[in-house]
Amino acid sequence: MADRGSTTRGMVILLQGGAEVKEPEIRIVGFDCAEDEHVAVLLDEHGAFESRSGVVNRRDHVEAAVAQLMLKIGPNAQLVVVVESKRSHGRVVADVAKELGCEVWQVNTVALNHYRDLEGQPRKDDEWDAYLGARMVYLRMGGCRVVIETTEEERALSRLTRTYSRMTDDRKRQVARLRSVLLELAPETLHAEWQGPQPGSKATLYLLERWPGFEGLEKAQLRSIEKILHKCRYGSKAAHVAKLIRSMARRIDIAAEERSAFTLEISFLVRQIQACNESVDQVYAEISGRVKRHPVGQKLLEMHGIGPVIAGVLVSELLPVARTSTEPKCATYSGVTPLARKSGKSLDKDRLTQGVNKRVLHALYTSSVVANKNSAVDRAYYQKKLRDYSDHL
């Protein structure tokens, strides 16, 4: 198993003090993880299929299964566990394997799909995927790497930043649905020249909460509308905007039956958007507090273009890699190196190389754009690099 650059160090003989010492044999087991049951495929010392076993997705069952595999390969061999993801389905397997002293590797899903196609497997199969994942690590193929050690604080920050990203995406979808409804009910609120509150803004949500579907708004007093606008800091513009809003409501001409359906749908959307706003604010506050307590997070917050969320992403996603990898590998992992995957018919398309963390790349890109806009030092450095590499463009 030491041939072809495999992970095993094989039976290499070392001379230490005149005595021959053999390194432990490496044995690889691939896990295809699912909600109910995991499938484990163990490879022999030559990387061929040896045995298959099913494991119920319960921590005690997974512990027993990994312990049995360790006993099966013997005390002179080291077990390497391969999972497709260290989160979600593979979380328990990865945690148990690490606690029992096994080396844990992770394979990229896209790379595994390509390898499955290369092997001629037309569709997904649990046993086949577990075997292919183990073979990828045995052959040291691209798309597989050792699972990076992270602290509890970093894992918590990673989960919080991912939750924040999902919630903001949910809010965008709900606002897009609200815009589609307003496009039928009051299309002028979406015009470029509209001077009133935009869909999804606090003022619009307050108005729709007070007058669902804008029903009754055409008869409302201006000072009632102005009171809501003052809550959103419209200041001296409140009187003018209030007149625009009431005029818009008076121009709505839809039959009563359909208008009631509009009102019901909009009221649901308003509640969902408000719930998203409250959740996003709560998660943001939690992220901000954790980042401010983290020593690296404190330094990141002092830099231009980096706020609590971006700092949280860098601390939880990039910092663990930086502790164990070289600077070039960190640059490749973060996606800032000019590497692309091109072959065959895809020569005219640029895509990121496998293994890039897109969350880190987005955080770095966003922070650099903001820093370039607001910091004279960063902008000067950017202009200098543009001149230095002008011949490469």
Q: Are 25 and 49 in contact (CB under 8 A)?
A: no
Domain 3-147: assigned CATH number: 3.30.420.10
Residue 109 vs residues 115, 159, 211, 335, 344: alpha-carbon distances, Å: 10, 20, 49, 18, 22
Q: At 199, is the secondary structure helix, strand, or coil?
A: coil
- Candidates 44, 4, 73; CA nearest to 131 is 44
- Angle, helices 126-138 vs 109-118, to 10°: value is 100
Residue ranges per domain, the chain? 3-147, 155-286, 288-339+352-392
For the chain, how many residues are written?
393
Q: Are 81 and 101 in contact (CB under 8 A)?
A: no
Q: At 58, is the secondary structure helix, strand, or coil?
A: coil
- Candidates 99, 89, 91; CA nearest to 63 is 99
Task: Give pLDDT, residue 14.
Answer: 34
- Candidates 162, 127, 138; CA nearest to 47 is 138
- Angle, helices 202-210 vs 256-293, to 10°: value is 140
Residue 144 vs residues 11, 119, 236, 351: alpha-carbon distances, Å: 23, 17, 60, 18
Whole-angstrom distance, CA of residue 211 vs CA of residue 234: 19
User: Which residues partner with 38 through β-bridges?
Assistant: 55
In a structure prediction context, what are the per-residue pLDDT tens digits for the chain, which is 393 residues long? 334 333 333 433 333 444 444 567 899 999 999 989 999 999 999 999 999 999 999 999 999 999 999 999 998 899 999 999 888 888 999 999 999 999 999 998 888 888 888 888 777 788 999 999 999 999 998 888 888 888 899 999 999 999 999 999 999 999 999 999 999 999 999 999 999 999 989 999 999 999 989 999 999 999 999 999 999 989 899 999 999 999 999 999 999 999 999 999 999 999 999 999 999 999 999 999 999 999 999 999 999 899 999 999 999 999 998 888 888 888 888 888 866 656 665 555 666 666 788 899 999 999 999 999 988 988 998 899 888 887 765
